[in-house]
Amino acid sequence: MRNPILRVLCTVSLLLLLELLGEGRSYAQIIRTNVLAVPFMNLGAEVPLGPRWSIGSDIYYPWLGRPGRDAGVDKSGVCNELMAADLELRYWFENGNPSGGQRLLGYSVGIYGAAGLYDFERDWSGYQGRFYNAGVDFLYAVPVFKGRLHLELELGLGYIWSAALPYDCPEPGGPIYHRKGVTKYIRWFGPTRAQVSLAVPICLFKKGGAR
């Protein structure tokens, strides 16, 4: 993983996930997956920081290789691979029902940063590159299935910068060849984040306190 920012974000994400397995230090925590992406090929965690704030992180890892591969031979000429992570600080306008073990619900706004690597190919030509993303988002979370799950609807606005190297793959299953001296720079400001996530609330005991 050559992207240092991505390494940092992945490390923070893993630490937040490990926090879910430790002793309870907050009213509730969340583990989630974005169903708009490849199902269950992304994982996120959210941990409250006091009554109104939380910190969260997500890892996307649909690094699935080229479909249609048989005995090392790529028959499709299609590749969609992504490795990305983000980190977010969120303010909640409502604080749920802490006494009943329900937190991280209602309306909230957050600021986030993300980084990632990708490899997208179609018809034996594609792009490999890296990207960075920063922005603000708005999220609404509502309990479903009698509070056993949370449904999160999220939309973000931000800035993306990416450097992409075009390449060709002339032989099925063979090496790829980058086009020398050609780098495509992408700069975009606008909608950069859309998530419909299913989240599992984990209500923990506070040290020295009740649930």
How do the domains of the chain map onto residue ranges? 4-203
Per the CB < 8 A criterion, the answer to whether 121 and 85 are in contact is no
Angle at 27 between CA 19 and CA 56, to 5 degrees: 45
For the chain, what is the radius of gyration of the CA atoms?
A: 20
The mean pLDDT value for 155-180 works out to 86
Per the prediction, the chain carries an average pLDDT of 79
**CB count, 10 Å around CB of 191?**
12
Most confident of 10-14, 76-80, 125-129, 138-142: 138-142
The mean pLDDT value for 36-62 works out to 85
From the list 117, 127, 148, 192, the residue with the least C-alpha distance to 31 is 148
Q: Is a pLDDT exceeding 60 seen at residue 208? A: no
The mean pLDDT value for 88-113 works out to 82
The mean pLDDT value for 159-175 works out to 85
Most confident of 19-28, 69-78, 93-102, 129-138: 129-138
Q: What is the pLDDT of residue 5?
A: 61
Q: Is a pLDDT exceeding 90 seen at residue 107? A: yes
pLDDT tens-digit readout, 116-131: 999 888 878 889 999 9
pLDDT interval class at 177 (50, 70, 90) = confident
Q: Is a pLDDT exceeding 90 seen at residue 21? A: no
Q: DSSP of 62-108, one letter per residue?
A: -----TTEETTEE-S-EEEEEEEEEEEEEEESS--BGGGTB-S-EEE
pLDDT interval class at 137 (50, 70, 90) = very high
Residue 158 β-bridge partners = 135, 190
Write out the two tokens for 209: 């306190």
Q: What is the pLDDT of residue 205?
A: 45
Q: Is a pLDDT exceeding 70 seen at residue 187? A: yes
In CATH, the number for domain 4-203 is 2.40.160
Per the CB < 8 A criterion, the answer to whether 156 and 135 are in contact is yes
